[in-house]
Each structure stands twice: as C-alpha cells, then as structure tokens.
Amino acid sequence: MFSKIILILQLAALCSGWVSHAFAYVPPAEQIFSLMPNQKYRHSRVLVLTLETTFYGDEWAEGLSTFTETVSFRYPDRFLSTIKVPSGEKLYLAQGEESLTAIDQTIISEEESPMDFYKDLFLYRTPESLIYRLSKAGIDTSIVSFGRLEGEIAYVIGAVYPDESHPQVWVEKDTFLPLRLFFPASETSEKIDIRYDYYFNIGTRMWYPGRITFYENDRPVKEQALKTYKSSSDNNAFPEYLFDIEELKKSFTSVIEPEQKRDASSESELDNVKQTIDDFQKVFE
C-alpha cells in the first residue's frame, strides 16, 4: 500500500513537471505571427480606414487639434496616409522599404521615423515578411518572452521582460492581437511607445484597433480613433498609381534635393513651402 502511495506521488510530481514545462513554453516569433488574425485571413486586397486623429500639445488653439485622416492598405506592402490641417495636406506613402512624406505636393522626407512602423503589424500578412520588416525597425525577433501589460499577459518579441532597453513588439497571448510597439530613446529619436486598444472586427475576420495612442517620452502626442472602414478583395479596387512612389516623385517637387539657383519668384514659393512645413511640424514632430 505504501509503495502505491509513493508511486502515485511520483507520478503526480512528474505530471506537475510536465504542466510547468508546458506553461513555460514560449513559441518562436514566426509561430506567434502566423496566429495573428490578420495573418490567417488574407482575402482583402485593399483596406481603407477613416480615422479621427488628435494631436496633443500647446501649439494648437482649442478646437484645432483633431483632424480627419484617411489610411489605405494595399496588400501586400503598400500604405498611404493623407491628413488635412488648416495649413495644408500631408501625405505619407510607404512601398516596401521606400517611403515618402509630402506636404502640398512638396516632398520633405524619404525616411521613416519609428512612429511610422505602427502600420506594419497590419500591413505585412505573412510571418516572413513581418519578421523582415520588424528586423528593419531594429527588433530582434529571435528573442521572445512573457510579459504583462495592464493586466494582460502578452508575448514580448525583441526583449526579455521587463527590459525596455531594446525595441520590441507585444502580442496578446490568447487573441494574438498586437498590444504595443516600443522603441527606446536613441541618438536620433526620443522614446516611442505605441499602444493598440479596443479592437473591432472590420470584416473578413480582420481586426483593427479602435484606438492607437502614440507616446513620446511617456507623454501622449497623438491618438487615432477608428471611424469608418471599407475593404475589397478586388485588386483593382484602388488605383495602383496612388501607391507608386516613383510616379509621385515625377509630379512632386522636393525640398530635400541639392540646392539649385532660383529666381525671386521661386525663392518666394520656397519660403511659402517652408512656412507650411513649420506649421505642420507643430503637430507632426
């Protein structure tokens, strides 16, 4: 009888070890990404969202800090954002590893900032392409750990929780929805923390955050709230040329090109462009 009790206790201890080992298992990033809803269901070819985008800060008078932003995803790797403020229109376009930022058809940048990477978690819909893009953002996808964010257990990809000295992305453990994208401060950028909340089912089993909040040095600087959405499985539902950076460069002017000789009228025009850029930087920097 005693030997049977010992055997039962040994089996119980062994099973307990199995359970502990099972709960300690952390899947690789590729497996986590493959279970994200937007990765599993890829029927949509084009997704267009209307957002209510609010900028925080003291630069804008009351009532002038919230604007309508339209963002368009053209899968597998193109993204377009347009937003209008009183001083003009800003356009941001990403196509693979290329990007373009323009104000009133004047190109002001061809480089991505850390905040621009927020879209990649919903744009790239294969684990391989997402891992590649995140590596471009400085995230080491070979590192995965468990973390807790406001009571929710998540996979932390890019760092060992609670380390915040490395870029990282957080994915909720059960739903596999993105919760956070984080970049520590660097020589060229402030600390950036992007949070994804209140997900909506936007059709064909795709999910998108009802709210995305952007923090800089722990202060909120921008918030996007989802207003409307429209998707299509038709490749021709959206003109492809609108997502073509090289084509836009042919019709846009640029202030990042080498300085050239200008007459008085062109100098005046450039001054106007610079003033518009200064107005936008009050919001977008």
By residue count, the chain amounts to: 285
Class of domain 41-258+271-280: mainly beta
Q: Cα separation of 285 and 278, whole Å?
A: 10
Residue 11 scores a pLDDT above 70: no
Give 150-208 pLDDT, tens digit per residue. 999 999 999 999 999 999 999 999 999 999 999 999 988 899 999 999 999 987 678 99
Give 91-145 pLDDT, tens digit per residue. 999 998 899 999 988 999 999 999 999 999 999 989 999 999 999 999 999 999 9
Least confident of 78-82, 100-104, 195-199, 253-257: 253-257
Question: What number of CA atoms fall less than 13 Å from residue 67's CA on the CB side?
Answer: 22
Report domain extents, the chain: 41-258+271-280
Burial 75-100 (b: 16+ CB within 10 A, else e): bebbbbbbbebebbebbbbbbeeebb
Residues 6+ apart with CB under 8 A from 154: 146, 147, 148, 170, 171, 172, 173, 179, 180
